[in-house]
Amino acid sequence: MRFRCKIVDGSCLNHFTRVVNTVTKLAKLCTLRLAANNLYFILIDKVANGGVSMWCELCQANFFDDYQMQGVSAEQNEIYLELVPENLSRALKTAQNAKAVKIKLTNKHCPCLTVAVELPSISSTSRIVTHDIPVSVIPRRLWNDFGEPTVPDFDVSIYLPAIKTMRSVLERMKNVSNFIVIEANRNGEINLKIETDLVFVSTHFRDLGNPPWVSDESSQSNTPERDPDIMSEARVDIRKLLQFLAGQQVNPNKAICNIVHKRMVHFILLHDDASLQYFIPVIA
């Protein structure tokens, strides 16, 4: 197995750093899947831990000036690594204004992602800061455990309001309850509701719009026609939802919420160069 890549363009480096920072906010430990054309940050959490899942996909050509990898075999040309994303985030913090950043899979007493940051210098000699990030190589027999999460046919798909606005609302609501009900319909409306024995709080968003999904596998077109005013809902852990909204640094072009009635909330952040999916199961 071999892997090396290089980032020279400053805007690409900043964007990659923002993606890694977002992943760091969502997962203490994750899987990095390296493929020929894409790389993925994956979190498949167990139900006992809240059941949250994350799937972040990046097109390598839009980030790296040089990208070379050789997988476990010609037929299975991929590499799966387990790592603490915060370690990668810390390494990239030293790369502000860097001339170049190189990342390479090495073996230094244990497998590592070695991040070499080339910093500008007033002399002719470049300054290079090196970080060795320990990783675990995931064997081929376990790869199937890290497949893209499947999304059941959702009842409603809707664009999210401004994430900063939504986060501000939830910050206030978290002081009232640990759980929140998200409900939405096909008329572009979302309600955020908290109900306890002492108080009922509801925030309403209107005219958000519904994505024109045409996928045959997972779309509103697969579900029976229904009154567009009917609400589908999901009761979730407000801390999990806030963690997702507060950690977002991808600056998406579109942010979408899909609701499987009383089963799951599925968020999608879409950017030209990357996409991030986040799954939160309901709480009874």
Regarding predicted confidence, which is higher, 216 or 68?
A: 68
Read off the pLDDT of residues 132-191 as tens digits, 9 standing for 90 and up: 999 999 999 999 999 888 877 899 999 999 999 999 999 999 999 999 999 999 999 999
Asked if residue 173 and residue 38 are part of one domain, the reply reads no
pLDDT given for residue 126 in this prediction: 74
pLDDT given for residue 247 in this prediction: 78
- Domain C-terminal end among 118, 146, 174: 146
Domain, as residue range, for 225: 156-260
Asked if residue 91 and residue 71 are part of one domain, the reply reads yes
Asked if residue 97 and residue 18 are part of one domain, the reply reads yes
Read off the pLDDT of residues 30-43 as tens digits, 9 standing for 90 and up: 999 999 999 999 99
Closest CA to 220 of 170, 252, 184: 184
Is residue 284 assigned to a domain?
A: no
Is residue 193 assigned to a domain?
A: yes
- Domain C-terminal end among 128, 146, 164: 146
Asked if residue 140 and residue 161 are part of one domain, the reply reads no
pLDDT given for residue 212 in this prediction: 83
pLDDT interval class at 215 (50, 70, 90): very low
pLDDT at residue 49 greater than cutoff 80: no
pLDDT at residue 249 greater than cutoff 80: no
**Beta-sheet pairing, 66-70 with 53-59:** unpaired
What is the CATH classification number for the domain harbouring 64? Answer: 3.70.10.10
Read off the pLDDT of residues 217-245 as tens digits, 9 standing for 90 and up: 444 444 456 688 899 999 999 999 998 99
Asked if residue 170 and residue 138 are part of one domain, the reply reads no
Asked if residue 140 and residue 30 are part of one domain, the reply reads yes
Is residue 275 assigned to a domain?
A: no
pLDDT at residue 214 greater than cutoff 50: no
pLDDT given for residue 50 in this prediction: 59
Q: How many domains does the chain have?
A: 2
> In 58-162, which ranges are continuous DSSP H helix?
85-93
pLDDT interval class at 85 (50, 70, 90): very high
- Domain C-terminal end among 100, 119, 146: 146
Asked if residue 142 and residue 8 are part of one domain, the reply reads yes
pLDDT interval class at 18 (50, 70, 90): very high
pLDDT at residue 105 greater than cutoff 90: yes
Cα 92 to its chain centre, rounded Å, is: 18
Is the alpha carbon torsion for 42, 63, 88, 241 positive or negative? Answer: negative
pLDDT given for residue 224 in this prediction: 52
E strand spans, 73-173: 79-83, 100-107, 111-119, 127-134, 136-137, 156-159
Query: Mean pLDDT over residues 257-265, rounded?
Result: 93
pLDDT at residue 121 greater than cutoff 90: no
Is residue 282 assigned to a domain?
A: no
Please tell me whether residue 191 adopts helix, strand or coil conformation: strand
Regarding predicted confidence, which is higher, 131 or 72?
A: 131
Query: Mean pLDDT over residues 77-82, rounded?
Result: 96
- Least confident segment among 68-72, 180-184, 196-200, 244-248: 244-248
Query: Mean pLDDT over residues 261-283, rounded?
Result: 91
> In the chain, which ranges are continuous DSSP H helix?
10-26, 85-93, 163-173, 238-247
CA distances (Å), 273 to each of 10, 35, 51, 102, 129, in order? 15, 16, 27, 20, 27
Q: Answer whether 0.85 is exceeded by the pTM.
A: yes
